[in-house]
Amino acid sequence: MERGNIQESKFGNVQVVLSQCSGSNRAGFSMVYTTKGNVRLDGVFNIISYDTVPKLQETLISSEFKVVIADESHYLKNAQAKRTNASIPIIGKAQYVILLSGTPALSRPIELFKQLEALYPDVYKNVHEYGNRYCRGGVFGVYQGASNHEELHNLMKSTVMIRRLKKDVLSQLPVKRRQQVFLDLAEKDLKQIKALFLELGVLKERIKASKSQDELNSLKLSEKSLISKIYHDSAQAKIPAVVDYLGIVIERIWWRTSTN
């Protein structure tokens, strides 16, 4: 979904600001390492996660961006969510807006309202007018139903929606490629993860030797909890190496495209 028209531009030295990242400064982009203190969003492109937007709302609003692109815009479906309430004013101030989503409404038409309101706030006076028309009314303002599907589809198609089906665009995408990337972890993190795997091995032996169903159930629960901790801790340990690796990938892509 979009508002306005975007013209393609080519930038010589593109500066990108990434929120809450760490790693090397490569390929002409800058990184914001924390949301604390004085954060400067002065890149040509400023990439911010939805969870970070509420923390930087005043800074983002005062920046008065000409273009705002909201990827996975269905994350803005909940009218009570902090990310939604913080993002909508920023979107509303932009001259051009593009909302990107493969599933703008996951289950019901009411999930489209905040996205439509962000693009065209004057189409419906309030959520109740929209809900009564396209959500089969509602009890106490809760709109779970659906009505006038074709009208809503035609309204969106004629105003804000550009739809692309997989069958129409898959031929334009490169072949999917999977590969293993081995990362070097910090010694202290590696030591902690190895200790967790040793603990898991001991737990598995105790499961094999369990003598009652109650004991087995308790050990299985402990095993599940420990596996979850291993996934979490190993993911946290990989973050610095992953950010560094992605910096290298971005640098390669940047130089490849800038020299063509």
Residue 30 domain-assigned?
yes
Distance separating alpha carbons of residues 16 and 30, to the nearest angstrom: 6
pLDDT of 6 strictly over 80: no
Residues 144 and 192 grouped into a single domain:
no
pLDDT at residue 7 in the model: 36
Residues 144 and 235 grouped into a single domain:
no
| pTM to 2 decimal places | 0.60
Lowest mean pLDDT among 86-90, 102-106, 161-165, 216-220: 102-106
Of 39 and 56, which is predicted with more confidence?
A: 56
pLDDT at residue 90 in the model: 93
Residues 16 and 79 grouped into a single domain:
yes
Residues 154 and 220 grouped into a single domain:
no
pLDDT at residue 167 in the model: 84
Measured on CA atoms in the order 87, 89, 94, 96, is the torsion positive or negative? Answer: positive
Residue 180 domain-assigned?
no
pLDDT at residue 105 in the model: 74
Structure tokens at 132: 């009564």
Residue 177 domain-assigned?
no
CATH assignment of the domain containing 33 = 3.40.50
Residues 25 and 59 grouped into a single domain:
yes
Of 98 and 164, which is predicted with more confidence?
A: 98
pLDDT at residue 174 in the model: 84
Distance separating alpha carbons of residues 70 and 50, to the nearest angstrom: 9
Confidence at 18, pLDDT banded by 50, 70, 90 = low
pLDDT of 218 strictly over 90: yes
pLDDT at residue 231 in the model: 95
Residues 164 and 51 grouped into a single domain:
yes
Residues 164 and 246 grouped into a single domain:
no
Residue 223 domain-assigned?
yes
Query: 64: domain range?
Result: 2-172
pLDDT at residue 123 in the model: 77
Sheet holding 45-47, edge to edge: 30-31, 16-18, 45-47
Residues 76 and 120 grouped into a single domain:
yes
Residues 43 and 120 grouped into a single domain:
yes
Which helix (H) or strand (E) segment holds residue 115: the answer is helix 113-119
Give how many domains the chain has, as a whole number. 2
Choose the final residue of a domain: 130, 146, 172. Answer: 172
Lowest mean pLDDT among 6-20, 60-74, 87-101, 230-244: 6-20
Residue 39 domain-assigned?
yes
